[in-house]
Amino acid sequence: MSAPTLSASSNPALQHLMQADPVLAQLISQGRPILPSAHEDLYLALLRAIVSQQISTKAAAAIWRKVQALFPPEGYPEPAALVLLSDEDLRAAGISRQKAGYLRAIADFAQRDQLDHTHLSQLSEEEFTQHLTQIKGVGRWTAQMLQMFALDQPDVFPEGDLGIQNAMRRHYGLQETGRALLKRMIELAEPWRPYRTLASKYLWQSLDNVPG
């Protein structure tokens, strides 16, 4: 059975992006179809995002398996159980002391019913980011990744992501750096609305560097 494909003619998002931006049109026509993300457990997605910070995908997968082994039999880190684990318990699974604190902060946030999927999926990008960045260790980039992948929200543009910056430098010939680069990227992404998430995923794909 072959994988489903998306064609521009049957997909309003692809049609819009290809008409709005000739550079993106080329990336889309040369790229592989990008299918919608499956909606994920936000709490679990946040924990995994923290585990994955600043380490390779392979290392993150190995550590995550060790974390799951701390929660037999299903391997699900229930918030009430996670908040009780010591730094030493988590260090045995390969989690640094700093990240151990972040994981317990996420569990505490979940215990206080602050990660309700239905409520959070209704928030704007900025409201969602402000809500999640109340958690120690969770920054704007992590919040954006959750919106793009766990919630599959259509109009998120992670201008601070290095992959997006590298792809736009390459394909749009950008010479700017720092704030000037971010400003130019945001300007270029404006015509992509309301499908900036899909545009970003094609930019990542163009580097063969899709997170998540």
Residues 172, 106: Cα–Cα separation, whole Å? 38
How far is 116 from 38, CA to CA, in rounded Å? 17
Which of 134, 138, 48 has the alpha carbon at shortest distance from 102? 138
Residues 85 and 134 both lie in one domain: yes
Residues 168 and 83 in one domain: no
Cβ(100)–Cβ(87) under 8 Å? yes
Q: 68-87: per-residue pLDDT in tens?
A: 999 999 999 999 999 999 99
Q: Does a structural domain hold residue 22?
A: no
DSSP string of 14-28, one letter each residue: HHHHHHH-HHHHHHH
Residue 198 and residue 112 share a domain: no
CATH code of the domain containing 101:
1.10.340.30
Give the confidence band of 13 by pLDDT, cuts at 50, 70, 90. very high
Whether residues 47 and 146 fall in one domain: yes
Predicted confidence band at 160 (pLDDT cuts at 50, 70, 90)? very high
* Residue at 206 is within a domain: yes
Q: Give yes or no: residues 158 and 137 share one domain.
A: no
Identify whether residues 142 and 76 lie together within a single domain.
yes
Tell whether 123 and 171 lie within a shared domain. Answer: no
Q: How many domains does the chain have?
A: 2
Q: Give phi and psi for 194, each to the nearest 5.
A: -95, 35
Q: In terms of Cα–Cα distance, which of 41, 37, 34, 4 is closest to 17? A: 34
Band (pLDDT 50/70/90 cuts) for residue 5 is very low
In this prediction, residue 7 has a pLDDT band, given cuts at 50, 70 and 90, of low
Q: Which of 129, 150, 171 is the last residue of a domain?
A: 150
pLDDT at 22 over 90: yes
Same domain? 51 vs 135: yes
Could you tell me which of 168, 146, 131 has the C-alpha nearest to residue 52? 146
In a domain, 3, yes or no: no
Q: Give dist(CA 93, CA 149) in Å, integer.
A: 26
CB 200 within 8 A of CB 148: yes
Is there a contact between 64 and 48 (Cβ–Cβ < 8 Å)?
Answer: yes
pTM value?
A: 0.84
- Judge whether residue 3 has pLDDT over 60: no
In a domain, 132, yes or no: yes
Residue 166, amino acid: N
- Domain annotation covers residue 21: no
Q: Are residues 108 and 183 in the same domain?
A: no
Q: Which has the closest alpha carbon to 137: 57, 47, 77?
A: 47
Q: 144 with 160, same domain?
A: no
Whether residue 109 sits in one domain with residue 145? yes
Pair 159, 182: CB distance under 8 Å: yes
Peptide bond into 4 cis (omega under 30): no
Q: Are residues 101 and 166 in the same domain?
A: no
Q: Which domain holds residue 174?
A: 154-212
Residue 15 lies in a domain: no
Q: Is the residue at 13 inside a domain?
A: no
Q: In the chain, how long is the greatest CA-to-CA distance?
A: 55
HSE (CB half, 13 Å, CA atoms) of 59?
Answer: 9
Domain boundary among the residues 119, 150, 181 is at: 150
When the pLDDT of each residue in the chain is averaged and rounded to a whole number, the result is: 92
Q: Indicate the residue among 133, 150, 167 that finishes a domain.
A: 150
pLDDT digits (tens, 9 = 90+) for 31-40: 999 988 888 8
* Residue 88 maps to a domain: yes
